[in-house]
Amino acid sequence: MRKIEHIGIAVKSLESSNELFGKLFGEAHYKVEEVASEGVNTSFFQVGPNKIELLEATKPDSPIAKFIEKKGEGIHHIAYDVEDIRAEMKRLAAEGFTLLNEEPKKGADNKLVCFLHPKTTNGVLIELCQEIG
């Protein structure tokens, strides 16, 4: 893992959260993107060298909707930038971490992604991200 790629925050309303975080960070989000396969709309903020991803459910049975129902709005995951996602997935599986998907999936912001089960990471959902192309 090379660095924290972004921190994901689950929100009920992207519109009101974009306004709130825009005020907090002193500038507007730079991108909104739907990831239909995950039932989520995302919005990204650049804060210095760091990115914040807001996640809003687009359907009631999506992972974000279930997260908010169970835990409320708040930090959903920490994403790490990796050079070779498949090699990192193999390494982490060999170390005993449980992967939530066996193959990387296309995620937001031009990334291939894979999540690690929070039961194997002290309750923190970890996302691995590799830039596509």
Residue 45's domain spans which residues? 3-131
Nearest to 25 by CA among 46, 7, 53: 46
**What is the count of structural domains for the chain?**
1
Q: Over range 94-121, report the average pLDDT.
A: 96
**pTM of structure:** 0.93
Confidence of residue 30 (pLDDT cuts 50, 70, 90): very high
Task: Give me the percent of the chain exceeding a pLDDT of 90.
Answer: 97
- 66-83 pLDDT per residue, tens: 999 999 999 999 999 999
Would you say residue 133 has pLDDT above 90? no
CATH of the domain at 24: 3.10.180.10
Cα of first residue to Cα of last residue in the chain, in angstroms, is 18
